[in-house]
A and B are shown apart, each in its own frame.
Chain A
Amino acid sequence: MTSAPSSLRSSLESAQTTVTAEVGPPRGADPGAVRRKVEPLRGWVDAVNIPDGQSAHVRMSNWAGSLLALDAGVEPVMQVTCRDRNRIALQSDLMSAAALGIPNVVLMTGDHPRFGDHPDAKPVFDLDGVQLVWTARTMRDEGRLLSGRKLDPPPSWLIGAVENPFAPPVRFRAARLGKKAAAGADFVQTQFVFDVPAFTRWMADVRDLGLDRRCKILAGVGPVRSLRALEFMSNNIPGLWIPDDIGRRLRGVPAGRVADEGLTICVEIIQQILQIPGVSGVHVMAPGFEHGIPEVLARAGLARAALDQPGQAEPATAGTASSTRAAGITGAGGGSRHAH
């Protein structure tokens, strides 16, 4: 096995509430932009997701952001979409991620370029999200590429998927997670949960199918911090809509207190979600507000005892297979890793 052991895996296998958070990579060449977003999360989250051209916009690459997160001492979850790469590039990137010590991947179809900053781009979609999960499982567990050729040594990442419990056909959304679990997903991160009753119904379907035992479930959450954000999220994020009662609550407070009310709603949602049987934790998405995530977690009662955080790790790019292995993350929950 070439990638470092995953502390996200240890957390998901334990009884504790797992917390992951999304860190949006910058549009620019400053590596410090990732470090500044990741560092405040050290000790608060088990891992940070690094998106792959979030919402079909050009950003720093998923793998580069993941390495910078490793460097800043937090375990990355590298997101990979099918939008921009065919099966040759996808498998190469997945293999490379393992070689560089990226211990977790989350695999999805991805947004169509039409919504991004390059709507004129060619959409690839050579594989779909289920097939990409299936490909990764084949690479890891069978040690084979889609061509049948051997991988030596095979990667060992934890494989994640995504699901939107709220998009039609709602009745079949749990079954769709079932396909991803059958294809090999170890865990799933969901779309933003704002409609807790709908999420509760989806979770009941998930438990009926026994999926929560095969595939750990992290519910997507995040604060709405302004009325403009409410508008934007409702109208511009495919497959996301926010129930009216949340809109009413946000509009019902003075302009200066909307952000705080949004935070309060987010905290309440987290607390309600964690009561639902079968939920392993939360995935916090707060684009542009990553520094506020610890406050959300603290108010939701998810503060942790300060973890032992060793000093700054060196860039992971220099690690050979053997030194990467030797330098793997050790203690469960410890988010830092050194490459020599």
Chain B
Amino acid sequence: VRPRPPAWLLYRIQPLLAPNTFYGRLAEWLERSRGRYRIFAAAEKTVKNEIFGCRMCGQCTLPVTGYACPMTCPKQLRNGPCGGVGSDGSCEVYPDQRCVWLVACERADDNGRIADLQLLQRPIDYRGWGQSSWVNYWSGRDDDLWTTGDGPAPAIERRAPAAGPR
């Protein structure tokens, strides 16, 4: 059953991955060599797939979804559960599984982070599939994956294309 680690632990660890000068340089260094980048992305895939069922969308939203991956939803919904969740909390497509958004709501709520789920998640960039979302995060490409939705007209477009190397 994914995600394995408790959400509080992941919220604790998250600051250790926050962008800084070191990570920025690491991201640049990785992107300069196709070989290095591939090895790093493969390692990220192995770790995150084991922990979260990561699909390598390259645009990681885990920190604001209670560390439950929305890309494991059969409809890959980025903005919350669909209307087909069973009364027992089962996924409408795979009834033997629990709705991942229900898991996300519970994990976020238990950690006082339910407001995260109100963020409007912008459409993902299909070109980002297979990329390292850590590299994208550190290089600032993922800064505008979501918006608070406050104000009359939140912009849906992302500023920068997420087209890094593969």
Docked complex Cα distance between A163 and B83 (Å): 6
Docked complex Cα distance between A21 and B68 (Å): 37
Main DSSP-derived SS at the B contact region: loop
Main DSSP-derived SS at the A contact region: mixed
Q: Which residues of A contact B76 (CB under 8 A)?
A: 125, 128
B113 close to A (CB within 8 Å): no
Instruction: Assess whether A131 is in contact with B84, with CB atoms less than 8 Å apart.
Output: no
Most chain B CB within 10 A, of A82, A125, A148, is at A125
Known: A123-B75, A142-B153, A182-B120. A176 touches B85 (CB 8 A): no
Docked complex Cα distance between A138 and B89 (Å): 33
The number of residues on chain B lying at the interface, defined by a beta carbon within 8 Å of a beta carbon of chain A, is 37
Per-position binary interface string of chain B over residues 67-81, scored 1 when its CB falls under 8 Å from any chain A CB and 0 otherwise: 000000011111111
Residue of A nearest to B150 (CB): A182
Our count of residue pairs bridging A and B at CB distance below 8 angstroms stands at 119
Instruction: Assess whether A135 is in contact with B85, with CB atoms less than 8 Å apart.
Output: no
Known: A175-B118, A183-B120, A183-B149. A167 touches B81 (CB 8 A): yes
A109 close to B (CB within 8 Å): yes
The number of residues on chain A lying at the interface, defined by a beta carbon within 8 Å of a beta carbon of chain B, is 42
Docked complex Cα distance between A166 and B83 (Å): 8
Instruction: Assess whether B123 is in contact with A131, with CB atoms less than 8 Å apart.
Output: yes
User: Could you name 18 residue pairs across A and B whose Cβ atoms are closer than 8 Å?
Assistant: A112-B84, A123-B74, A130-B120, A131-B78, A131-B156, A138-B156, A142-B153, A148-B157, A162-B83, A167-B84, A168-B81, A168-B85, A168-B87, A172-B105, A172-B117, A182-B120, A238-B83, A239-B92
Inter-chain pairs besides A129-B77, A167-B85, A182-B154, 13 sampled, C-beta below 8 Å: A115-B92, A123-B75, A134-B156, A141-B153, A144-B157, A167-B82, A167-B86, A168-B87, A179-B79, A182-B150, A238-B92, A239-B85, A239-B86
